[in-house]
Structure 1
Amino acid sequence: MASELTRLLPHSVRVYRQLRQEIYEFILMPGDRFTEVDIASRLGCSRTPVREALLTLQNDDLIRRCFRNGWEVCPIDFDVYEDLYATRILIEVDTVARLCSSDSAKTDRSVLARLRALWIIPPEQQEQAGEKIATMDEQFHIALTEAAGNRELTAILSNITDRIRIMRRLDFEYDTRIAQTYAEHAELLEAIENREQERAVGLMREHIEDAHTGACAITLRRLQKVRARNLP
């Protein structure tokens, strides 16, 4: 059934999903170059859906146009990711501090009830699909920052979220990461609800640092495996 549904998808969506998966699994390696003709020939479709898919992947910051010809999988710059995660920590620590201490009209604490209903649930009701839980995790952090009432910080965090998406998706490759995310989100929401500012700030910082470390580790391990496989 899954393959039948895949064939029914618009060609551009099918190509987009295929290439995105290949990038996440390092079948297409950072720095790999290719042309629209290469992809169209390999996937058995015309260049039009390939071009549409590539433009979407470019918007996702997964690929970029080459100066002279073709496309390139964006290289992984760990220094850039480190800076982005550090900036993310500054924003999200400020977010939980505001939610714990502020009674400003700009602060919307009703969001917390909605998040509790999503994240504080029995294990048997928890989402298990890695890609879906990664999206839910992104939405959780954006929602908290929106609830704190600073639209400019929310916009900056949204931009950072787009740029680190591949790293966050890799983080959910760990078997234990989904259950850990539910537990950490639940603990964080409890601390915010009880206005335990110091605890909430510490939990948020640890949560993000943990995710960054895990994603970097699995990225390096995958790259090493691919390199070893490709050695003569």
Structure 2
Amino acid sequence: MARGRSASKHEQSEEPGRQPSMVDNAYAALKQAILDSSFAPGYQASEQEIALRLGMSRTPVHEAVIRLQEDGLVRVLSRKGVLICALAPEDMREIYDVIIAVEGRAAELLASLPDAERELAAAELARGTGEMARAWKDGDLPAWGKADANFHRTLVERAGNGRMTRIIQTINDQSHRARMLTLKLRRELGSSVAEHRAIIEAIQRGEPVEAQARVHDHRLRARDELLPILESFGLRHL
């Protein structure tokens, strides 16, 4: 965060050691309900209805809705309540453009770190990749999806750029439903383990250009696999 700038409400809620407020709890509960499709894409309701479904009071839900609109997960419609945003395949194409750019830069930054920091980051990424490999072997797709998400989150967080971390978190929240929906349909999940290991090796060797290229190719392949699935199944909104 830049010097001289006070933290936003959203940033303050993420300060380590701070006790969650009622608004934080409402934000977390509503966000999870959206991500697991308890509140499905296209669902529309008043803040009061949403509060009742969550078992919360309206005031913290109102504040949570404002934050979730900033995240791109809901839209507040004048006199019509709150709409859970849907994604179209074209939205996913735009999302992957951002992911490719941010994660590629993150890999460059990691590969440029001093040796000791680079090794720590690589070891953490390797642990996540190991979890992916075990989940793939066991046929545990939810565990694979969680480990994969953890790898990519770590890749960006370890780069040390707070703005990049916040951008990628928002993007990942928006695309979560599409990733989980298509896990059983994607045929190349096993390739991700090898590709992650190639990214890690480039970071370990301290090769920024190679690390960026490995991430670019990995995410490009994933995009080119995912989008045709969405289109072939006629998933116009998800």
> Could you tell me which amino acid in structure 2 is paired with residue 139 of structure 1?
N
The normalised TM-score by structure 1 is 0.64
In 1, the alpha carbon distance for the partners of 2:135 and 2:93 equals: 34
- Taking the TM superposition and a 5 Å limit, the aligned residue runs for 1:65-214 are 67-69=78-80, 72-103=83-114, 109-120=119-130, 126=136, 128-214=139-225
Matched-pair contact (CA < 8 Å) for 2:35–2:177? no
Of residues 43, 52, 60 in structure 2, which corresponds to 1:48? 52
C-alpha deviation, 1:143, in angstroms: 0.8
Matched-pair contact (CA < 8 Å) for 2:182–2:226? yes
Relative contact order, higher structure (CA 8 A, sep 6+)? 2
SS in 1 for 2:233: helix
Q: Which runs of 5+ in 2 are unaligned?
A: 1-28
In 2, the alpha carbon distance for the partners of 1:75 and 1:62 equals: 8
In 2, the alpha carbon distance for the partners of 1:70 and 1:61 equals: 16
Q: 1:128 to 1:95 in 2, by over 3 A?
A: same
Q: 1:145 to 1:123 in 2, by over 3 A?
A: closer
In 1, the alpha carbon distance for the partners of 2:36 and 2:131 equals: 31
In 1, the alpha carbon distance for the partners of 2:94 and 2:132 equals: 36
- Taking the TM superposition and a 5 Å limit, the aligned residue runs for 1:17-56 are 20=36, 31=42, 48-49=52-53
Q: 1:166 to 1:85 in 2, by over 3 A?
A: same
Q: Which runs of 5+ in 1 are unaligned?
A: 1-12, 40-46, 227-232
What residue number does 2:17 align with? none
The normalised TM-score by structure 2 is 0.62
Q: 1:223 to 1:114 in 2, by over 3 A?
A: same
Q: 1:110 to 1:224 in 2, by over 3 A?
A: closer
In 2, the alpha carbon distance for the partners of 1:205 and 1:184 equals: 11
In 1, the alpha carbon distance for the partners of 2:143 and 2:123 equals: 21
